[in-house]
């Protein structure tokens, strides 16, 4: 199979490409604009494999897309390219509207026109898999309910609203044109190669640097954390065995309060990196409560029984083992870290956190 993957230089996209190249015989074309969040060093393990190809392309570029479809002749598209950081969407929503909504529209149209012209075999087996988030559902206020595939959409942030819009476009292309789509909505991922603007990698790196570990509001917000390699296994199962037109929720069965996540990272670092920066007694002394995020969602939690019952997927990694692997990875991969801490990154951290 020829699989066109958008956003393959990002956190989840690069894990997906490493998985497909290492565990299957498929050809992969990674189509990525290489924004601040895209990093080809995350693909160094597969970059010389003859089944891996790369094109630096913006998904809003209609002409480039149609050339790529003609040249690569994909059997499937897995669409991960997006602007993904909620805090950035609050500071400047424009890129989120542009990439997540307009970009998804352009990709859908390029895919549909290609699919309509394809020969009978390709036409009948082609799939467009849209990778989305549980944030489209808004938040849960009680501890007893979960997001299912039937939960109404109620996004809270510019990021989640733009992802919700893209989900609606994808579903409409199925209903209107019969275009063969699949949608997955996953909870928060964590693991190696995660850009350090998100909670887990930011906390690990700030702790190692002796900087404040910033917790928004009261720190009691809940996220359902899933190890990224469990997510990519689920994505591959849905692509190859999911039912066209359906959506699947993917989650870790692993609800954690933000403050507990930060404290767990501190405890792991006490063992794994006992030599601390000057003046630091305990890593957890660095925990600093700051002003809450506007519109902050209180709780996300996924009911993943559909993908479990229909496709047999369950997460393999426990939070304790996954978090330990992640902390060790960041300690051992300072070169990767140094190379992404560019001027743009430093500016974001300085402006957003004042440190
Ligand atoms: P990421 O921010 O790490 O990577 C996004 C990638 O998309 C980058 O490589 C970037 O260069 C590329 N990109 C951005 N704009 C582009 C454009 N206009 N054209 C082409 N490429 C462009 O994101 P991630 O965390 O890997 O998330 C991947 C997808 O999974 C997103 O669609 C996101 O909404 C979804 N998702 C993420 C999570 C999570 O916890 N990270 C959870 C559920 C779903
Ligand atoms: P994040 O990793 O940005 O993912 P998302 O907003 O998509 O869930 O944030 C995870 C949680 O951690 C979220 O509730 C916001 C919170 N958070 C902090 O408390 N401090 C921080 O510095 C960051 C980046 C996030």
Q: Tell me what the mean pLDDT of segment 246-271 comes to.
A: 97
d(Cα 91, Cα 69) in Å, to the nearest integer? 35
Minimum-distance ligand 2 atom for the alpha carbon of 87: 3
Q: How far is CA 354 from CA 23, 83, 350, 351, in A?
A: 44, 23, 5, 6
Q: Tell me what the mean pLDDT of segment 320-349 comes to.
A: 95
Name the H helices within the chain.
11-23, 62-72, 86-91, 94-96, 104-117, 120-125, 158-177, 199-209, 228-241, 258-272, 305-311, 319-332, 334-340, 343-353
Least confident of 100-109, 196-205, 300-309, 332-341: 332-341
Q: Is residue 218 part of a domain?
A: no
Q: Is residue 278 part of a domain?
A: no
Q: How far is CA 28 from CA 13, 18, 52, 57, in A?
A: 11, 10, 5, 15
Minimum-distance ligand 2 atom for the alpha carbon of 203: 22
The closest ligand to the CA of 213 turns out to be: 2
d(Cα 343, Cα 349) in Å, to the nearest integer? 10
Asked if 355 and 290 count as a contact pair (C-beta separation under 8 A), the reply is no
Q: At what angle do helices 319-332 and 258-272 cross, to 10 degrees?
A: 60
pLDDT of 123 above 80: yes
The closest ligand to the CA of 291 turns out to be: 2
pLDDT of 313 above 80: yes
Q: How confident is the model at residue 136 (pLDDT cuts 50, 70, 90)?
A: very high
Q: Is residue 272 part of a domain?
A: no
Range of the domain at 122: 2-190+226-253+300-318+343-352
Q: Tell me what the mean pLDDT of segment 186-190 comes to.
A: 98
Q: How far is CA 95 from CA 86, 99, 169, 252, in A?
A: 12, 6, 18, 29
d(Cα 178, Cα 134) in Å, to the nearest integer? 25
Q: Is residue 97 part of a domain?
A: yes
Q: How confident is the model at residue 188 (pLDDT cuts 50, 70, 90)?
A: very high
pLDDT at 133: 98
pLDDT at 144: 74
Q: Residues with catalytic annotation?
A: 134-135, 159
Please state the domain count of the chain.
Answer: 1
Share of the chain above pLDDT 90, in %: 96
Q: How confident is the model at residue 233 (pLDDT cuts 50, 70, 90)?
A: very high
Q: Tell me what the mean pLDDT of segment 254-276 comes to.
A: 97
pLDDT at 142: 73
Instruction: Look at the alpha carbons of 18, 114, 102, 136 in this order and tell me if their dihedral is positive or negative.
Output: negative
Instruction: Look at the alpha carbons of 355, 83, 61, 234 in this order and tell me if their dihedral is positive or negative.
Output: positive
The phi-psi region of residue 246 (left if phi > 0; otherwise alpha if psi is between -120 and 50; otherwise beta) is beta
Asked if 235 and 171 count as a contact pair (C-beta separation under 8 A), the reply is no
Our answer on whether the CB atom of 79 is closer than 6 Å to any ligand 1 atom is no
Q: How confident is the model at residue 107 (pLDDT cuts 50, 70, 90)?
A: very high
Q: Is residue 287 part of a domain?
A: no
Q: Tell me what the mean pLDDT of segment 238-243 comes to.
A: 98
- Give the domain CATH number at 158: 3.40.50.720
Mean of all residue pLDDT scores within the chain: 97
Beta bridge partners of 256: 223
pTM above 0.95, yes or no: yes
Our answer on whether the CB atom of 186 is closer than 6 Å to any ligand 1 atom is yes
Q: Is residue 195 part of a domain?
A: no
Give the pair of three-digit tokens for residue 242: 């999911």
Question: Residue 203, exposed/middle/buried by CB under 10 A (0-12, 13-18, 19+)?
Answer: buried
Residues with Cβ within 8 Å of 55's Cβ and at least 6 positions away in sequence, in order, are 29, 30, 31, 32, 64, 68
d(Cα 9, Cα 81) in Å, to the nearest integer? 9
Q: Tell me what the mean pLDDT of segment 186-191 comes to.
A: 98
pLDDT at 278: 87
Q: Which residues lie with the beta carbon below 6 Å from any ligand 2 atom?
A: 86, 188, 198-199, 202, 214-216, 221, 223, 258, 293
d(Cα 215, Cα 213) in Å, to the nearest integer? 6
pLDDT of 355 above 90: no
Give the pair of three-digit tokens for residue 352: 């957003």
Question: Tens of pLDDT along 42-88?
Answer: 999 999 999 999 999 999 999 999 999 999 999 999 999 999 999 99
Minimum-distance ligand 2 atom for the alpha carbon of 258: 12
- Provide the 8-state DSSP code for 6: E
């Amino acid at each position: 199979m020829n699989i066109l993957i958008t956003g393959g230089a990002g956190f989840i996209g690069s894990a997906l490409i490493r998985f497909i190249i290492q565990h299957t015989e498929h050809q992969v074309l990674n189509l990525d604009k290489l924004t601040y969040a895209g990093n080809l060093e995350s693909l160094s393990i597969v970059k010389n494999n003859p089944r891996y190809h790369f094109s630096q392309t913006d998904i809003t570029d209609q002409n480039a897309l149609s050339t790529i479809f003609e040249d690569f002749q994909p059997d499937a598209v897995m669409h991960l390219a997006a602007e993904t950081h909620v805090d950035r969407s609050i500071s400047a929503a424009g890129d989120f509207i542009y990439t997540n909504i307009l970009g998804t529209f352009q990709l859908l149209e390029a895919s549909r026109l290609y699919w309509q012209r394809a020969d009978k075999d390709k036409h009948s087996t082609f799939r467009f898999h849209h990778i989305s988030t549980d944030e489209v559902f808004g938040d849960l206020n009680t501890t007893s309910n979960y997001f299912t595939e039937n939960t109404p959409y109620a996004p809270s942030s510019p990021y989640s609203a733009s992802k919700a819009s893209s989900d609606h476009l994808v579903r409409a292309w199925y209903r209107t044109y019969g275009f063969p789509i699949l949608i997955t909505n996953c909870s928060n991922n964590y693991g190696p190669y995660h850009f350090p603007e998100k909670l887990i990698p930011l906390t690990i790196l700030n702790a190692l640097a002796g900087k404040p570990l910033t917790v928004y509001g009261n720190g009691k917000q809940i996220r359902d954390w899933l190890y990224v390699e469990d997510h990519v296994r689920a994505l591959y199962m849905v692509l190859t065995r999911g039912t066209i037109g359906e959506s699947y929720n993917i989650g870790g069965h692993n609800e954690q309060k933000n403050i507990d996540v930060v404290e767990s990272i501190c405890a792991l670092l006490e063992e794994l990196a006992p030599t601390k920066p000057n003046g630091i007694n305990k890593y957890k002394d660095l925990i600093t409560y700051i002003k809450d995020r506007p519109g902050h969602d209180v709780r996300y939690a996924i009911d993943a029984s559909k993908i479990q019952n229909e496709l047999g997927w369950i997460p393999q990694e426990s939070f304790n083992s996954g978090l330990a692997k992640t902390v060790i990875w960041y300690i051992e991969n300072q070169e990767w870290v140094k190379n992404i801490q560019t001027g743009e990154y430093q500016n974001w951290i300085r402006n957003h956190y004042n440190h």
